[in-house]
Amino acid sequence: GENWPEGIIGLVAGKLAEELNRPVLVLSRGAEFSRGSARSRDGFNIIHALRDCAPLLVRYGGHAQAAGFTIANNRIEELRQHLLGWHESGVAPAILVEPGEPDLTGLIAEPETAPPSQHMVDLVFTRPELFKYSTYNKIRQLSPFGAANPEPVFKAEGVRLISCWPSGVEGRNLRMRLSIGATQVTGVLARGRPQLPTLNGVERVTIIFRLEAAWRPNEGESTQDITLKILHIEPREA
């Protein structure tokens, strides 16, 4: 992808690393230089891998599970080959991708999910005004996220379910419109279509989620919006 926002490539890298269970580096290509975001899995120290190829990079930084870097475009293929040959603790080698590659579309849209347990929730949202882009931006200041620095998970109770419908490839995802007070947001539950019958006719739900940007590249921050990556949803008992 060309000139993708840094927060977006970090989200893509995290999703792919989770889906593929292997280290992933995602690039946003500029005219002469590209910015990269790396996410790893247990057993593969991504900052060690980048340090080992430091002569190829303009700059880099991060920790064992998440890192960022800048590279000249004419050195990208050298970096790709270096990563393919760099092994640690038997973990599959890292892969280097660019957003928009056609064979990655399904992986980005449909990560595996599992209902998180109660102790994994970092904060319960009770104020509708938190569901906005400025909150997402503040959360991104905690990045880079990875196994050593997990992305925050949130919970909201008594959320009004306005509508929900199948979406994505073959309608396997579940897309929904939600209302929290006077605020309306869109949520997506990956591979959630089997839950559609349990939500028909339901007015209020409890959701566990992460915040994501509904990025509009030609608009300013004040007009940006968020979507909710739904990790778990269940009808709320009256």
For residue range 31-55, list pLDDT tens digits in order. 899 988 888 876 678 888 888 889 9
Q: Are strands 24-29 and 204-214 parallel, antiparallel or unpaired?
A: unpaired
Residue among 10, 28, 51, 19 nearest 146 (CA):
10
Residue 111: its pLDDT value, please?
37
Q: What's the rounded mean pLDDT across residues 214-221? A: 58
Higher pLDDT, 12 or 235: 235
Residue 178: its pLDDT value, please?
96
The domains located in the chain, with CATH, are: 6-109 (3.10.310.30), 118-235 (2.40.50.460)
What is the per-residue pLDDT across 179-194, written as a single tens digit (0 to 9) for each? 998 889 999 998 889 9
E strands, the chain, in order: 24-29, 33-39, 57-62, 66-72, 95-97, 123-124, 154-167, 173-180, 183-189, 204-214, 225-235
Q: In whole angstroms, how far apart are CA 80 and each of 77, 86, 203?
A: 5, 10, 49
Residue 101: its pLDDT value, please?
46
Structure confidence at residue 18 as a pLDDT band (50, 70, 90): confident
Structure confidence at residue 59 as a pLDDT band (50, 70, 90): very high
Residue 106: its pLDDT value, please?
36
What is the per-residue pLDDT across 132-144, written as a single tens digit (0 to 9) for each? 888 888 888 877 7
66 has a pLDDT exceeding 90: no
Angle at 184 between CA 120 and CA 171, to 5 degrees: 75
156 has a pLDDT exceeding 70: yes
Percent of the chain whose pLDDT exceeds 70? 75
3-state secondary structure of 17: helix
